[in-house]
Structure 1
Amino acid sequence: MTGVDVSNFTGDYKQSQMAERFNRPHLVVAACRELVSLGHDRKSWMIFAASVDHGIALTNELCERGIDARFVDGTTLSGSVKNCWNHLRPVASVRL
């Protein structure tokens, strides 16, 4: 990934650099446009963001496009998290 360093300690991309790199208005708009275009036949999506601010920007942009987007982070109350998980569940499930 151009412009994002890898930590020598963890081997992961540096989170602050990823957030700075990806949370740019034109990239958020382009990503959401592509998500809506490619995901139109999906019942639900789960999207991971580079930071809380990036997640909020993605959520807001998707809502502006008429998508029922919900944001969850570490401060979200458990009842709200369960509601989001239930929203992602498929309508029918197969049990073995």
Structure 2
Amino acid sequence: MKSADFEYLINQIGHEIGKKTTPFRDPIPVRESLSYIFQFSTQSISVVVPEVCDALIACLSDKIKVPKRQEEWPQVANDIDRMWNYPHCCGSIDLKHI
């Protein structure tokens, strides 16, 4: 990802995914949660990834296409499998299959 694209995303969703410091822990910084997430525990990843995805969808919904209803997801996965032979894939961002 280009650094300009990364900065754009941080500016768009940073306020949505940023956490506050508490007496019990320091939060994962926004820049790290977007770029180096897999250096953190599985528990942290399981919380951060859905939050980042939700924030991306909310902030960029006019720029990316996401099914509106749950019933549409299997059709998306079937289409991707048929066209590119990636079973159980529901989308792609920056050449990373999801």
Instruction: Classify the TM-score, shorter chain.
Output: under 0.3
Greater relative contact order (Cα 8 A, min sep 6): structure 1 or 2?
A: 1
Structure that is richer in helix per residue: 2
Structure that is richer in strand per residue: 2
TM-score in terms of structure 2 length:
0.27
